[in-house]
Amino acid sequence: MPTARKSKSSKPRDRVTLAYLGAMALVVILCILTIWKLNALNNTPTWWTQLDNNPNITNQHGIELENRITTALTRLRAPDKSNWTAAINQDQLNSWLTHRLKDSITSFSKPSTSSNPSLSQLDQVRIAINPKGLTVGTRITHAQGSTILWAIITPGTNDQGHFTIDIHKLVAGTTRIPTRLASTYLNPDQLGSASIDLGDGRIVRIKAIRPGNQRLEFALQTKLKDNN
């Protein structure tokens, strides 16, 4: 019995089928990767959870920190003691961020700023301090849930009297983000002056910021406003 001949078009059809299946497989893989990435956006980083349930993060500690800072800044200092230092520990800072930040923003902002929707989306802010720098994060709420945006930074000041921030890592959940996306907002001109006007003819200049072991140290100088 004669063998049936294969159609000349069978091979092209096979190639089309393989190409179609390959494309479908690629789409499936991309969908899986996309879902994985989206889930990673909702993941909670380890450093954040380590600050959970800390009994030392209280409203009272936040108020005490405010009072200590106000007292230190406004203290009258002799000319030969115009240079001084101060330090804030990690628990005090997180107490203020947790219990006092929103109230402070509302108190010192214009009405249009304090009613800004972005402020209501700001759920939590936390900072972990170590000698290599600061791990700074915030939980942002949105329609799909919440995402922790965080970064590892080194804060400082420059010779022109402006704040500086070197950013080493930028992450959403557990997904890395290119640090260049934040560079626009982190130049010294955008960050502003590293001086505090006391309103009595004096200013306090922040000369240096030094991260330590769960504490942030500052080198400061109190001087007359017109004395440059």
Q: In the predicted model, what is the mean pLDDT of residues 103-114?
A: 59
3-state secondary structure of 6: coil
79 secondary structure, DSSP code: G
pLDDT of res. 186: 80
Report which secondary-structure segment, H or E, holds 224.
strand 215-224
Whole-model pTM: value is: 0.74
Given a contact cutoff of 8 angstroms between Cβ atoms, the answer to whether 127 and 93 are in contact is yes
Work out the angle between the directed axes of helices 90-99 and 59-74 (0-180°, nearest 10). 110
- Greater confidence (77 vs 30) lies with 77
45 secondary structure, DSSP code: P
Given a contact cutoff of 8 angstroms between Cβ atoms, the answer to whether 105 and 111 are in contact is no
83 has a pLDDT exceeding 70 = yes
How far apart are alpha carbons 118 and 150 in whole angstroms? 16
Q: Given pLDDT bands bounded at 50, 70 and 90, which one contains residue 122?
A: low
pLDDT of res. 37: 44
pLDDT of res. 41: 56
Region of poorest pLDDT, from 2-16, 160-174, 203-217: 2-16
What residues does each domain of the chain span? 12-41, 46-224
- Greater confidence (201 vs 100) lies with 201
Quick: pLDDT tens for 16-52.
Answer: 555 555 454 444 444 334 334 444 556 788 888 888 8
Work out the angle between the directed axes of helices 101-108 and 90-99 (0-180°, nearest 10). 60
Q: Given pLDDT bands bounded at 50, 70 and 90, which one contains residue 128?
A: very high
How far apart are alpha carbons 90 and 85 in whole angstroms? 17
11 has a pLDDT exceeding 90 = no
pLDDT of res. 112: 47
Quick: pLDDT tens for 140-197.
Answer: 877 777 888 888 989 999 999 999 989 898 888 878 888 887 777 788 888 889 999 9
The pair of structure tokens assigned to 222 is 């109190």
Q: Given pLDDT bands bounded at 50, 70 and 90, which one contains residue 102?
A: confident
Q: In the predicted model, what is the mean pLDDT of residues 63-68?
A: 92
